[in-house]
Amino acid sequence: MGNDSGGEVGAFFAGFLVGGLVGAAAALLLAPQSGEETREQIRLRGVELRGKAEDTLADARAKAEAVAADVKRRAEELQIQSKVILEEGQKQIAEAVEETKKAAAAAVSKKEEEAPKAKAKAKA
């Protein structure tokens, strides 16, 4: 997830810079002015584009951090829910085992009580 978003942001960022530079260069080369004025405009446009690129990168970074925080929060919630479900399941299993032990003990006790009577009937 993070890798895909990073690639998309990187591609957008690169396209943004290339497009800005090409547009700025074309505008400066086609405008009638002196070389000094052209160089100054190129420098100013470069500073402007750098600022925009930094803003775009900061926005992308903030969005990525927000998504990462949301994913982390959801993962923690799922972990807590899973733990609760697991504990409930373990409790139910322990109760079932205890009930089975009691039923088995009662059945054994009943058979032990019936055994002497059955032996007496068999001898008679």
What is the tens place of the pLDDT at every residue in 56-81?
899 999 999 999 999 999 999 999 99
At 49, give phi and psi (nearest 5°).
Answer: -65, -35
Say if pTM beats, i.e. exceeds, 0.75: no
* Separation of alpha carbons 51 and 15, rounded Å: 16
DSSP annotation of 31: S
Say how many domains are in the chain: 1
Residue 100 pLDDT > 80: yes
Structure tokens, 42: 């190129």
Q: Which domain holds residue 37?
A: 2-123
pLDDT value at residue 4:
56
pLDDT value at residue 96:
96
Name the residue among 3, 76, 70, 75 with its Cα closest to residue 62. Answer: 70
Structure tokens, 15: 């396209």
